[in-house]
């Protein structure tokens, strides 16, 4: 290591005058190969021009980002130069770390140090790469990753790093929420910040393909995709760049249509690459267990037989003993070990049923007395037994050897409800907290309905207008949603500790403890105005995991970490912490089914219109086209699930695809509209969950679901398949020899 320079912030204050002194900034981390401050390996090199040696800031207070950006004395500039003629992409990254300890002082809280990282372009244009992020918000403290493309001539990239203290720091000896004391040992003046910046290069000779290189070398830049229609030979069959991302630091590349070159073996499982992420990783979806042959260094994998139910039908001769076998309308995967899968019967809508036959022959009179509503059996005589071979009854025939079965091998880890809770808007959430379950009670004929409510210490007042007059209206309509639900002749008919909000005919939720409707909607979905969010700033939205999240994370913990079995590798080290979007924003555009038209709008919302969510916004009104493309944006911070998020926290870097990502892959439309492809690579002849909410029916919510050749909407307590999704880190390499086909998949190279 050399050139170890740092950012120091030392507070020596008199009253509120802050003196920030020191040297900023960078050290360049590399294995020296013969040239000062540079890395050379054949025809690849990178050098670092360190820029200023010292920045001194005086009379600095905690400040807004606008105030910080109006100055230049808090900025360090540095330049990266490089060249790459190797035929392989190379990477470098810019990381922040805690610097040296300053004896006698205490570090500022990480959340109080704010940063911008700016890339300087042509004509001194500025592109904000890191935009007012605190040190605690930076993922793994890596603030930027960039590439030098293959066959690149000399490049020069200049960056500016700005640091300041955030504006809402409170310095006080009496304020209970103070960030720092004004006097004493813990006084603000006795704190400091020391930050090191490291530029790390990836400059070894590339002999193995990396994931992004695999996608980019196959990209089709000529075909124009119409996302309103399913994939086809003329509407997407290959690798494409998502329109609008071409000039991004990491354009989004995605696979679409009937392709067979995106198969990967990772962690002992088959996966299919779906798309790249905004940070250069690659999202992959679970695709079953591979067939494995060979041993040692000569292992081969085959992912070509795991996609669908196997069509090889065999006549079963072992069911002469029929008495006592149990049949079910569903099943679950209990565990996996290598290529072995353990199954168990499960009830979906009908209870597990035992076939009761008087004798043990296969005579025509002894056909099972169950219907095709119970197709699955383990051929076991107890309903809780497990098996490693699960059979599906394709038909019921008479005579000896009468039953015809298929072996099952589906690319799912099991079946689950998205959420077993299903009576609240909040149940569309991958995580949730307060539920406000729906209720229905016929209101009394003379119940009072108001336009608004007021909270008075311990009760609500149902009011009619801005003059706070108690309502006398007895009609529930688009402008009268609130009611105490009592008779006009009763005392307190417009005053109640809990007030009803009617959103659909006689369906309502109850508000209490001073919550308004907008508070309830925010607590259920995270969607709300800035004023509502500020009012509920201390409220923790995502506390309870959905049924699907629990199942997926338990599977990940068991199979891709060493937490359950210490002898397992920890494969999570190869995955990036990407965002999985559970978009609970409301549909706000279009001619129908918008939030303002729904019964959840107290000012004109009809009592017969459902609440639709943001993803549905794109699936309605023929929104998709060649210019309107699937969205990779997640509007609400509380819907952006990741391991590093403090407001939408995942325990492991695993989730589900969004409906937009399934549209990218080539599915056609919603509810059968524009359907017509059974050949796009995500097709499984099965139903499996997405992460995208659709709408809230009067009694339960719906989530989008991949259904054969189109997207459908299923109520969240229905049981469907789970296909986990992970994202490989930028720069992940594959072993040589694979071509991505099902029979010769790419295999992730482990360190």
pLDDT of 461-471, one tens digit each?
A: 999 875 667 77
Question: Is residue 24 a part of any domain in this protein?
Answer: yes
Query: In the predicted model, what is the mean pLDDT of residues 121-126?
Result: 88
Query: In the predicted model, what is the mean pLDDT of residues 301-312?
Result: 53
H-helix or E-strand containing 143?
A: strand 142-148
pLDDT of residue 667: 86
Residues whose CB is less than 8 angstroms from the CB of residue 466 and which lie 6 or more positions away in sequence, other chains included: none
Note whether 733 and 707 are same-domain residues.
no
Q: Of residues 331 and 232, which shows the higher confidence score?
A: 232
H-helix or E-strand containing 563?
A: none
pLDDT of residue 312: 31
pLDDT of residue 330: 76
Tokens representing 180 are 């720092």
Say if residue 1's pLDDT is above 80.
no
Q: Taking CA 243 as the corner, what is the angle to CA 229 and CA 252, rounded to the nearest 5 degrees? A: 105
- Give the model's confidence band at 669: pLDDT under 50 very low, under 70 low, under 90 confident, else very high: low
- Give the model's confidence band at 307: pLDDT under 50 very low, under 70 low, under 90 confident, else very high: very low
- Give the model's confidence band at 341: pLDDT under 50 very low, under 70 low, under 90 confident, else very high: low
Note whether 49 and 180 are same-domain residues.
yes
pLDDT of residue 588: 82
Picking from 173, 202, 231, the residue at the C-terminal end of a domain is 202
Residue 370 and residue 422 in contact, taking contact as beta carbons nearer than 8 Å: no
Residues whose CB is less than 8 angstroms from the CB of residue 593 and which lie 6 or more positions away in sequence, other chains included: 587, 609, 610, 612, 616, 620, 695
Note whether 140 and 94 are same-domain residues.
yes
Q: In the chain, what percentage of residues exceed pLDDT 90? A: 34
Question: Is residue 714 a part of any domain in this protein?
Answer: yes
pLDDT of residue 659: 93
Whose CA is closest to 614, among 564, 674, 560, 660?
A: 660
Residues whose CB is less than 8 angstroms from the CB of residue 512 and which lie 6 or more positions away in sequence, other chains included: 497, 498, 499
Count the helix, strand and coil residues of the chain and give each as a percent rounded to the nearest 5: 10, 35, 55
Residue 304 and residue 348 in contact, taking contact as beta carbons nearer than 8 Å: no
pLDDT of 407-431, one tens digit each?
A: 445 688 888 899 999 999 999 999 9
pLDDT of residue 623: 60
pLDDT of residue 325: 76
Question: Is residue 33 a part of any domain in this protein?
Answer: yes
Note whether 566 and 627 are same-domain residues.
yes
d(CA 458, CA 667): 52
Question: Is residue 415 a part of any domain in this protein?
Answer: no
Residue 25 and residue 78 in contact, taking contact as beta carbons nearer than 8 Å: yes
The torsion angles phi and psi of 663, rounded to 5 degrees, stand at -60, -45
**Tokens 């010769």 sit on residue:** 744
d(CA 741, CA 725): 19
H-helix or E-strand containing 619?
A: helix 614-619
Residue 327 and residue 377 in contact, taking contact as beta carbons nearer than 8 Å: yes
pLDDT of residue 86: 59
pLDDT of residue 309: 34
pLDDT of residue 575: 96
pLDDT of 73-100, one tens digit each?
A: 788 777 777 776 655 566 676 777 777 6
Note whether 215 and 167 are same-domain residues.
no
Whose CA is closest to 436, among 496, 378, 515?
A: 515
pLDDT of residue 398: 38
Query: In the predicted model, what is the mean pLDDT of residues 575-589?
Result: 93
Say if residue 601's pLDDT is above 70.
yes
Tokens representing 456 are 């008075």
Q: Of residues 557 and 75, which shows the higher confidence score?
A: 557
- Give the model's confidence band at 544: pLDDT under 50 very low, under 70 low, under 90 confident, else very high: very high
d(CA 103, CA 710): 63
Question: Is residue 426 a part of any domain in this protein?
Answer: no
pLDDT of residue 46: 56
pLDDT of residue 643: 97
Say if residue 592's pLDDT is above 80.
no
Say if residue 616's pLDDT is above 90.
no
pLDDT of residue 375: 72
Residue 608 and residue 678 in contact, taking contact as beta carbons nearer than 8 Å: no
d(CA 117, CA 160): 6
Say if residue 8's pLDDT is above 50.
no
H-helix or E-strand containing 299?
A: none
pLDDT of residue 617: 77
d(CA 312, CA 554): 32
Question: Is residue 417 a part of any domain in this protein?
Answer: no
Query: In the predicted model, what is the mean pLDDT of residues 200-227?
Result: 68
Q: Strand pairing partners for 747?
A: 265
Note whether 228 and 193 are same-domain residues.
no
Q: In the chain, what percentage of residues exceed pLDDT 70? A: 73
Question: Is residue 303 a part of any domain in this protein?
Answer: no
97-111, 275-289, 303-317, 452-466: lowest mean pLDDT where? Answer: 303-317
Alpha-carbon Rg for the chain, nearest whole angstrom, is 30
Note whether 365 and 439 are same-domain residues.
no
Whose CA is closest to 61, among 14, 131, 103, 128?
A: 14
pLDDT of residue 15: 24
pLDDT of residue 194: 72
pLDDT of residue 206: 42
C-beta atoms surrounding 123 within 10 Å: 5
Q: How would you write 330-342 as a 3-class SS string?
A: EEEEEEEECCEEE
Say if residue 316's pLDDT is above 70.
no
pLDDT of residue 517: 96
pLDDT of 238-275, one tens digit each?
A: 999 998 888 788 889 999 999 989 999 999 999 999 99
- Give the model's confidence band at 635: pLDDT under 50 very low, under 70 low, under 90 confident, else very high: very high
Say if residue 360's pLDDT is above 70.
no
pLDDT of residue 367: 42
- Listing DSSP states for 622-665 in one string gives T--SSSS--------GGGEEBSS-SSSB-SSS-B---HHHHHHH
Note whether 226 and 147 are same-domain residues.
no
59-73, 90-104, 196-210, 615-629: lowest mean pLDDT where? Answer: 196-210
Note whether 70 and 149 are same-domain residues.
yes
Instruction: Provide the residue range defining the domain that includes 377.
Output: 318-408
**Tokens 């010292």 sit on residue:** 54
- Give the model's confidence band at 24: pLDDT under 50 very low, under 70 low, under 90 confident, else very high: very low
pLDDT of 450-461, one tens digit each?
A: 999 999 999 999
Residues whose CB is less than 8 angstroms from the CB of residue 694 and which lie 6 or more positions away in sequence, other chains included: 428, 612, 613, 615, 616, 701, 702, 703, 704, 713
Query: In the predicted model, what is the mean pLDDT of residues 332-359?
Result: 65
* Paired sense of beta strands 38-41 and 44-49, if any: antiparallel
* Mean pLDDT, all residues of the chain: 77
Query: In the predicted model, what is the mean pLDDT of residues 166-179?
Result: 86
Say if residue 318's pLDDT is above 50.
no
Picking from 408, 423, 450, the residue at the C-terminal end of a domain is 408
What's CA 147's distance to the chain center, in Å?
Answer: 25
Say if residue 599's pLDDT is above 80.
yes
Q: Strand pairing partners for 702?
A: 695, 715
Q: Where are the beta strands (DSSP E) in 429-523?
A: 431-432, 439-440, 452-456, 459-463, 482-483, 495-496, 498-504, 507-512
d(CA 707, CA 713): 9
pLDDT of residue 5: 34
Note whether 554 and 530 are same-domain residues.
no
Q: How many residues does the chain have?
A: 751
Whose CA is closest to 22, among 159, 199, 195, 158?
A: 195
Question: Is residue 228 a part of any domain in this protein?
Answer: yes
Q: Of residues 661 and 719, which shows the higher confidence score?
A: 661
Selection from 338-342, 469-473, 596-600 with the highest mean pLDDT: 596-600
Say if residue 681's pLDDT is above 60.
yes
351-365, 474-488, 556-570: lowest mean pLDDT where? Answer: 351-365
Note whether 569 and 625 are same-domain residues.
yes
State how many domains the chain has: 5
The torsion angles phi and psi of 372, rounded to 5 degrees, stand at -70, 0
Torsion of CA 558, 559, 563, 569, to 10 degrees: 170
Picking from 150, 172, 202, the residue at the C-terminal end of a domain is 202
- Give the model's confidence band at 345: pLDDT under 50 very low, under 70 low, under 90 confident, else very high: confident
Say if residue 193's pLDDT is above 80.
no
H-helix or E-strand containing 164?
A: strand 152-165
Note whether 564 and 650 are same-domain residues.
yes
């Amino acid at each position: 290591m050399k050139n170890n320079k740092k950012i120091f912030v030392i507070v020596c204050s008199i009253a509120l005058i802050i003196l920030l002194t020191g040297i900023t900034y960078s050290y360049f981390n590399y294995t020296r190969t013969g040239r000062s401050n540079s890395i050379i390996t054949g025809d690849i090199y990178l050098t670092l021009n360190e820029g200023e040696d010292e920045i001194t800031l005086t009379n600095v207070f905690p400040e807004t980002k606008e105030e910080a950006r109006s100055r230049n004395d808090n900025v360090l500039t540095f330049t990266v130069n490089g060249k790459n003629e190797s035929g392989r992409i190379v990477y470098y990254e810019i990381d922040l770390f805690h610097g040296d300890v300053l004896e006698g002082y205490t570090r500022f809280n990480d959340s109080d140090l704010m940063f911008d990282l700016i890339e300087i372009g042509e004509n001194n244009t500025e592109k904000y790469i890191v935009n007012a992020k605190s040190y605690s918000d930076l993922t793994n403290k890596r603030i930027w990753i960039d590439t030098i493309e293959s066959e690149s001539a000399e490049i020069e990239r200049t960056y500016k790093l700005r640091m300041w203290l955030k504006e809402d720091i409170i310095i006080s000896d009496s304020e209970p929420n103070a960030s720092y004391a004004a006097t004493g040992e813990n006084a603000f003046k006795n704190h400091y910040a020391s930050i090191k910046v490291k530029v790390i290069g990836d400059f070894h000779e590339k002999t193995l393909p990396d994931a992004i290189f695999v996608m980019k070398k196959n990209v089709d830049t000529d075909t124009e995709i119409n996302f309103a229609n399913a994939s086809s030979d003329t509407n997407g069959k290959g690798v494409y760049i998502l329109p609008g991302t071409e000039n991004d630091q990491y354009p989004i590349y995605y696979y679409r249509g009937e392709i067979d070159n995106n198969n990967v073996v990772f962690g002992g499982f088959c996966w299919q690459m779906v798309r790249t992420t905004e940070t250069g990783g690659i999202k992959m979806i679970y695709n079953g267990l591979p067939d494995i042959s060979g041993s040692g260094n000569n292992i081969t994998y085959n992912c070509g037989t795991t996609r669908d139910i196997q069509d090889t039908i065999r006549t079963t001769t072992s069911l002469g003993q029929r008495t006592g076998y149990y049949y079910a309308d569903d099943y679950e995967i209990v565990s996996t070990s290598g290529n072995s899968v353990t199954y168990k019967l499960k009830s979906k809508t009908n209870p597990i049923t035992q076939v009761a036959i008087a004798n043990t022959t296969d005579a025509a009179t002894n056909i099972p007395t169950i219907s095709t509503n119970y197709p699955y059996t383990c051929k076991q005589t107890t309903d809780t037994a497990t098996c490693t071979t699960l059979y599906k009854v394709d038909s019921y025939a008479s005579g000896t050897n009468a039953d015809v079965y298929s072996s099952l091998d589906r690319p799912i880890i099991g079946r689950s409800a998205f959420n077993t809770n299903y009576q609240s808007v909040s149940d569309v959430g991958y995580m949730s907290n307060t539920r406000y379950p729906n209720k229905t009670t016929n209101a009394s004929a003379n119940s009072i309905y108001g336009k608004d409510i007021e909270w008075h210490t311990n009760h609500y007042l149902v009011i009619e207008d801005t003059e706070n007059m108690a309502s006398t209206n007895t009609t529930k309509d688009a402008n009268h949603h609130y009611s105490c639900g009592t008779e006009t002749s009763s005392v307190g008919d417009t005053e109640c500790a809990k007030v009803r909000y009617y959103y659909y005919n006689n369906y309502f939720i109850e508000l209490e403890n001073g919550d308004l409707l907008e508070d309830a909607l925010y607590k259920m979905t995270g969607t709300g105005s800035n004023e509502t969010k500020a009012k509920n700033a201390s409220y923790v939205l995502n506390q309870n995991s959905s049924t699907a999240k629990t199942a997926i994370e338990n599977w990940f913990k068991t199979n891709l970490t060493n937490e359950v079995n210490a002898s397992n590798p920890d494969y999570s080290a190869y995955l990036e912490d990407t965002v999985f979007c559970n978009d609970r924003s409301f549909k706000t555009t279009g001619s129908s089914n918008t939030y303002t038209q729904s019964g959840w709008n107290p000012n004109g919302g009809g009592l017969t219109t459902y609440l639709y969510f943001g993803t549905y916004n794109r699936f309605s009104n023929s929104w998709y086209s060649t210019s309107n493309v699937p969205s990779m944006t997640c509007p609400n911070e509380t819907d952006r699930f990741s391991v590093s998020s403090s407001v939408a926290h995942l325990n492991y870097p695993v989730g589900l695809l969004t409906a937009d990502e399934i549209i990218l892959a080539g599915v056609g439309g919603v509810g059968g509209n524009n359907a017509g492809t059974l050949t796009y690579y995500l097709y499984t002849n099965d139903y499996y969950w997405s992460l995208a909410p659709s709408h809230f029916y009067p009694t339960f919510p719906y989530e989008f679901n991949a259904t054969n050749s189109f997207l459908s909407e299923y109520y969240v307590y229905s049981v469907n398949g789970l296909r986990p999704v992970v994202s490989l880190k930028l720069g992940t390499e594959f072993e040589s020899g694979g071509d991505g086909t099902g029979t010769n998949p790419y295999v992730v190279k482990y360190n």
